[in-house]
Amino acid sequence: MHRRSVLKAALAATALSGLTVRQARAAAPAKVVVIGGGYGGATAARYLRTWSRGVVDVTLVEPDAAFVSCPLSNLVVAGYRQMADITVPYDALVRRHGVKHVRDTATAIDLGRRTVRLAGGATLPYDRLVLSPGVEMQSGAIDGLSAPGGEQIVHAWKAGPQTDVLRRQLAAMPDGGTFAITIPLAPYRCPPGPYERACLVADYLKQHKPRSKVLVFDANPDITSKGALFRQVWQTRYAGMIEYRPQHETVGVDPATRTIRFDVQDDERADVLNLLPPQRAGAIAVAAGLATANGRWCEVDFVTMASRVAPDVHVLGDAVQIAPLMPKSGTMANQHGKVAAAAILQQLAGQAPDSMPLYTNTCYSFTSSTEAIHIATVHRYDAAERTMLTVPGSGGLSTAPSVLEGQYGFAWARSIWADMLA
Amino acid sequence: MTTLPRFPIFLRWTAGIAAGLCAAPLLAQSLAAAPASASAPSPAPSAPMTAGPADAGKMSIEVQRSRTEQARNQAASCAVCHGPDGRPPADSPVPRLAGRQQAELVELMLNFKNGRLPGTVMPQIAKGYSDTEIIAISAWFADQK
């Protein structure tokens, strides 16, 4: 019997009864390689193992020993949480769920041969590839970032060492100084994130350096998420401290004088520069030819999360060309991971994938060290439109920031980290 | 490692159907008490969830498997706040869903959906799910002992 037919039979049998797990294990297991251990990739890895009852062989390619969360990282920038609070090791994925963790960086995908090349020189074959590469910062779009001193200007939009650098820069800023954050045109990772960062930096400054200012230079025509709520907080809690300037597209920077250049308006100087460059799908996805939308984002079939150009490759998270009103968020990446895991197992078993993806996005933004606001949306697959659409009449926003929602925000983080990694 | 019950899936689905019977009066009551909501455009019910208990005996194992997996997949969405399989981390302010009575979960969700139970995110989320989906997802959580 051909290996793949054995596998199909084994998985089909397993789906019907736990009694056949041992027989299925005797067959050659399907190999799934997962690139990237963020919200999408870690979730897919865990669910592929859980839902196949340990039958499918899952290898996670991720250079880091631990996951570091972007959500909640703005609290670290403001000094209200430590790096350790947003760091979760990959140990349980390996120990409890049997995921093979290869601590290496995937450098290339051979779609024809179905292999992944690693920086360390090894080549991994796959039956299915899950690609959760996150975003690549297009730093070249900001002239001067590569000039001497440019390395001191961080985005901190991938949680990790830069998060700590930005925290230290804020802590070192003198009272009366200016913290500037620049926002690229949407779509970018975490639509409300820059405005949350403005709130939390202002919360810190209000307590420790009350004569300071936060300048928000947004390339977009208006606040891209939770606009009315952020505006309300800025006008009340942080009155006179946060200044919001829409339609300011950052095109250059002079690291020596800490000056930002815009496409239209006059230059602005600040003491701490936090520049968020334009973004696109992680470099490996672009190099593999999967970023079919403007060369930036990966178009997928939302029933399976399979790439439109490579059906064996399932793309997740921020790298995906999003459906209408679908944010590039950690929760969405987690939901993508489960849709992909379910579809991969069904397809490997020779079954049609679940044709009704239905999931919720819940996104909390902290407006102070203890208070948060939310946006919630429910997304349902629309067969006619071949995309995910929000369900009419569902979803909504907070009425105002609250401590209760702050508690829910912290609870969300602990639950989703457990859902990915515990 | 796995948290799924060990007995065959079709038994769990049948159990879900049986529990669905208990929820039916609640569903009828809820719709009767909220005419405005009942007449509002509701999301298209997921076709596989509409078969009644009378059909359960005739359903092929394949169809049963597909329906159970669909409920499982849709329930998995709740994990981001309620924890994997509806088991939140210790001391979470977000309630556990795993192992609760199906009828209780259905009643809560329908009350959120129909505006009779206040909340932060849940009234907004519940409106995105059809009644049949709520019944099926609740059955799945009830089975997570």
Q: What's the ipTM?
A: 0.91
DSSP code for A283: H
Q: Which residues pair with A377 in a beta bridge?
A: A361
Strands A57-61 and A31-35: parallel
Q: Whose CA is closest to A64, among A88, A46, A43?
A: A88
Asked if A151 and A158 count as a contact pair (C-beta separation under 8 A), the reply is no
Give the architecture (CATH level 2) of A3-63+104-136+280-353. 3-Layer(bba) Sandwich (3.50)
Q: Whose CA is closest to A30, among A7, A59, A2?
A: A7
Interface probe for A, chosen from B68, B73, B82, B134 (most Cβ of A below 10 Å), is: B73
Handedness of CA B25, B26, B28, B32 (dihedral sign): positive
Please determine, for residue B52, whether its predicted confidence score (pLDDT) is greater than 50.
no
CA distance A173 to A189: 27
A-chain CB neighbours of B131 within 8 Å are none
CA distance A69 to A189: 13
CA distance B124 to A377: 8
Output the CATH code of domain B9-35+59-142: 1.10.760.10
| Tokens (6 digits) for A184 | 């690229």
Shortest distance between the Cα of A409 and any Cα of chain B, in A, equals 9
Overall residue count recorded for chain B in this entry: 145
**For B91, nearest residue in chain A (alpha carbons):** A411
A150-169: burial string, b at 16+ Cβ within 10 Å, e else: beebbbbbbbbebbbbbbeb
Phi-psi region at A123: left, alpha or beta (left = phi > 0; alpha = psi -120 to 50): beta
**For B128, nearest residue in chain A (alpha carbons):** A394
User: A152-191: per-residue pLDDT in tens?
Assistant: 999 999 999 999 999 999 999 999 999 999 999 999 999 9
Q: Would the CB atoms of B94 and A331 count as touching at under 8 Å?
A: no
B-chain CB neighbours of A331 within 8 Å are 80
Rounded average pLDDT over A201-220 = 98
CA distance B138 to B145: 13
Rounded average pLDDT over A182-209 = 98
B-chain CB neighbours of A17 within 8 Å are 8-9
Q: Would the CB atoms of A360 and B65 count as touching at under 8 Å?
A: no
Average pLDDT, chain B: 73
pLDDT value at position B37? 37
CATH class of A139-278: alpha beta
Interface probe for A, chosen from B3, B121, B122 (most Cβ of A below 10 Å), is: B121
Structural domain boundaries in chain B = 9-35+59-142
Please enumerate in sequence order all residues whose Cβ is within 8 A of that of A274, keeping only pairs 6 or more positions apart, or say none. Answer: A153, A154, A155, A156, A166, A179, A180, A181, A182, A197
Please determine, for residue A231, whether its predicted confidence score (pLDDT) is greater than 60.
yes
Predicted TM-score (pTM) of the model is 0.87
Q: Per the omega criterion (within 30 degrees of 0), is the bond before B123 cis?
A: no
A-chain CB neighbours of B62 within 8 Å are 351
User: Greater confidence, A20 or B58?
Assistant: B58
Please determine, for residue B20, whether its predicted confidence score (pLDDT) is greater than 50.
no
User: Greater confidence, B46 or A244?
Assistant: A244
Q: Would the CB atoms of B124 and A50 count as touching at under 8 Å?
A: no
Please enumerate in sequence order all residues whose Cβ is within 8 A of that of A142, keeping only pairs 6 or more positions apart, or say none. Answer: A250, A251, A252, A253, A275, A277
Please determine, for residue A22, whether its predicted confidence score (pLDDT) is greater than 50.
no
Shortest distance between the Cα of B94 and any Cα of chain A, in A, equals 7
Please enumerate in sequence order all residues whose Cβ is within 8 A of that of A301, keeping only pairs 6 or more positions apart, or say none. Answer: A308, A386
Structural domain boundaries in chain A = 3-63+104-136+280-353, 139-278
Q: Would the CB atoms of B133 and A358 count as touching at under 8 Å?
A: yes
Residue type, A25: R
User: A346-390: per-residue pLDDT in tens?
Assistant: 999 999 998 889 999 999 999 999 999 999 999 999 999 999 999
Residue B62's pLDDT band (boundaries 50, 70, 90)?
confident
Q: Would the CB atoms of A391 and B81 count as touching at under 8 Å?
A: no
Topology match between the domains A3-63+104-136+280-353 and A139-278 = yes
Rounded average pLDDT over A81-97 = 98
The minimal CB distance from B125 to the residues A47, A376, A415 is found for A376
User: A278-328: per-residue pLDDT in tens?
Assistant: 999 999 999 999 999 999 999 999 999 999 999 999 999 999 999 999 999
